[in-house]
Amino acid sequence: MTERKHRSFAWGSIRGRVLFGPLLIFSLLLLTPLRAQVQASLDTTQMRIGEELEFLIQVQADSTDFVMFPEGKSFGAFEVIRSYAVDTLRDQNNKYRWELRKKYGLTQFDSGYHRLSKQRVMINDSAFDTPEFDVAVLTIPVDTTQQQIFAIKPSAQVPLEKGPIWPWLGLLSLLALGGLFWFWRRKKSEVQAPPPPPLPPYEQASQRFEKVALQGAQAPHEFKALYTELTDLLKTYIHREIDSRALESTTEELLDRLELHRNAGHFVIEIQTISSLGQILRRADLIKFAKGQGTPQQWEMDLAQAKTIIESLKAGIPQPEPEDEQEALDAAARAELLLRQKRKRRIVFSSAFLVVALASYVFYVGPQEAKDQIFGNAMKDMAQGPWYKSEYGVPAVILESPEILVRKIYKHPDQDSLSAKGTAIFEAFTLEDDFYIAVTSTEAHPQENWDIAMALNRSLALLEEQGARTLIVKDESFETPEGIKGLRAYGSFYVASTSGRVGTDPHQYELLVFDQQGGIQTVMVAFVEDNRFAQGIKERIINSVSLEIPQTQQKAEAP
C-alpha cells in the first residue's frame, strides 16, 4: 500500500510538470508583446550645456488602441524645449498594427550627471513606464591660461568709400540750371508785372484835400506852398476827368477850354463853377509868382470853395454807358485762355528740359547704370557694401558674405534627414529672392557611417523641400589644400512659391560638400541667372570658404 501511494505521488508530479511547462511558455509568449509595446531611446548620453537632447518614445499598438504620451514642462532634471508631432508608421506584416513615434527636445543648463526619470505612456487602461537614463552634461572649456587676454580695442574711424564724382556734378548742374531758370522767371514776372492801378480821380482828389487841410493846419502861413498844392490838385482832377491838356495850360487857357466844353455840350458845367475856379487860380498865381499875401481866413474860404468846385465838376460829368455783359464774358474768357496757354508753355518747356537732361545723363552713364542709380539695385549694394567674415556650425565653416547668416530650423518627417540631430543650418535670404546663401555643418559620431554622395543627395532634397523645381545637377569631386575631400555640384532650377506656382526666372546654384573626419559641411549659393552682380558675389563667397579642422584630425596628421 505504501509503495502504491508513492508511485501515485510520483506520477502526479511528473504529470504536473508536463502540464506546467507549456502553460509557462504560452504565458511568456502572451506577455512578451505587451512588454515590447513601449520603447524609449536617447540620441546620446553626453551633451553640452544648452544643447538639444532628443528623447524618442516608440509605441507599437493596434489601430483601435488609445495611446497617450507623457506631457509636461520637464522630464526629471531636463527641461522640455520642444515637443514634436507624433509620427505614425504602418506595420508591413500586419495592416492593423501601427508604430507611433513621439520625439521630445530636452536640454539642461547645469553641468554634471543628470537622470532622465521614468515617463509613463498610457495605452487604453494600461500604464507603461520608460526606462531611466543617466546623461552627462559637459561644460564648454574656455582656455584662459594659454591664450593671452587683450584689452577692449578703441573705436576706429571707418573711412568713407569714395565713389565716382560725376553723378554729383551732374546733379549740382541740374540744380544750378533749375535755380537760374527760377530766378530768370521771377525777374521777368517782376518786370512784366503791371503797376497797381491808380485811384479814381475823385477819390484821389479827396485824399489830397485831406493832406492839404492837414498841411494848412500845421503851417498856416506857408501860403505859397499851400496854393501850389491846391492848384495842382484842381488841374490834376480836370486833367483826368475833363480835359487832357489841363496840366500844361495857363489859368486863362484852362478857363477858355472849360467854356468850350460847356458850349459844346461835352459836360454840364455851371458858369458860376468856372468863375469860382478862375478866382482861386488867379489868386494862387498872384501868391506864387507876384509875391501876393494871403490870410488864413481867405485860405479856409478858398479850400472850401475848391471842394465845392470838385463836387460840381463831378456832377456834370456824364456817366459811362453800362458795358455789355456778353463782351465782359468774352474778355474774361480770352484772359483765361491766354493764362492757360502761358501755363502750358511753362509745362512744355520744363518737361522738355527734364527730358533732355535725363536723356543726356542716360547717354553718358548707360541705360543699365542709370537705372541702378535712379531706382537702386540690391545686388549692387551687396557687392559694393560691407562684407562679414564669420564661422558657422561645429566643425566650423568659415566664409565671407554680404549678410550675416541666421540659424534656421526645418522639420522633416525622416529623422535621418540632413537637418536632424547634430546638423546646424544657417541661411541668408530665401530661395525666392534673387540671391540665397545656405551653410550646413553636421557633427559626425564615431558610430555613424557618412557618405559624401549621400550628403549631396540630402542637400538637394532639402533644396527641393524649399521649393526648387526642374533641378539640373552636375557634379565633380575635388580636394582642398588642407587635404579635405569634397564634391561640387552646380546647375539650375526654378522656384515654386508657397501656392505651388513655378516662377519663370531660372536660378543658378553652386553647392560644395566637404567630407572630413569630424563631420560633413555644405555651402550653397543660388542666384537669379540674368543678374549682373550675382556671379561676382557668388565667386567671392566660394573663394572665401575655409574649414575648421578638428583637433583629432590635426593630431592624426601630425608627424
pLDDT at 35: 42
Listed ranges 323-337, 364-378, 534-548; the one with the highest mean pLDDT: 534-548
Task: Identify whether the C-beta of residue 118 lies closer than 8 Å to the C-beta of residue 130.
Answer: yes
Listed ranges 98-112, 166-180, 350-364, 371-385; the one with the highest mean pLDDT: 98-112
547 sits in the region (left: phi over 0; alpha: psi -120 to 50; else beta) called beta
Indicate whether 22 pLDDT > 60: no
CATH architecture of 40-138: Sandwich (2.60)
**Angstrom distance (rounded) from CA 356 to CA 354:** 5
**Angstrom distance (rounded) from CA 195 to CA 202:** 20
Which grid coordinates belong to 542? Answer: 566660394
Q: What is the pTM of this model?
A: 0.41
Share of the chain above pLDDT 90, in %: 14
Q: Is 446 helix (H, G, I), strand (E, B) or coil?
A: coil
Indicate whether 128 pLDDT > 70: yes
Pick from 64, 82, 86, 51: which is nearest to 413 by CA? 86
pLDDT in tens, 437-459: 999 887 766 555 667 788 888 88
DSSP-assigned beta bridge partners for residue 114: 135
Indicate whether 319 pLDDT > 70: yes
Least confident range of 10-19, 139-148, 239-248: 10-19
Share of the chain above pLDDT 70, in %: 81
Fold of the domain spanning 379-557 = Protein Transport Mog1p; Chain A (3.40.1000)
Burial of 108 (0-12, 13-18, 19+ CB in 10 A): buried
pLDDT at 289: 86
Indicate whether 55 pLDDT > 90: yes
pLDDT at 295: 87
Indicate whether 402 pLDDT > 80: yes
Banded model confidence at residue 14, pLDDT cuts 50, 70, 90 = very low
pLDDT at 1: 40
Banded model confidence at residue 78, pLDDT cuts 50, 70, 90 = very high
Burial of 159 (0-12, 13-18, 19+ CB in 10 A): exposed
- Where along the chain do its domains lie? 40-138, 202-316, 332-376, 379-557
The residue among 6 and 519 whose pLDDT is bigger is: 519
Banded model confidence at residue 160, pLDDT cuts 50, 70, 90 = low
Indicate whether 389 pLDDT > 80: yes
pLDDT at 105: 93
Least confident range of 72-81, 384-393, 455-464: 455-464
pLDDT at 159: 65
* Cα end-to-end distance, the chain, whole Å: 92
Indicate whether 54 pLDDT > 90: yes
Indicate whether 80 pLDDT > 80: yes
| Helix, strand, coil percentages, rounded to 5, for the chain | 45, 25, 35
Mean pLDDT of 35-57: 86
Mean pLDDT of 220-225: 84
Indicate whether 400 pLDDT > 70: yes
pLDDT at 502: 85
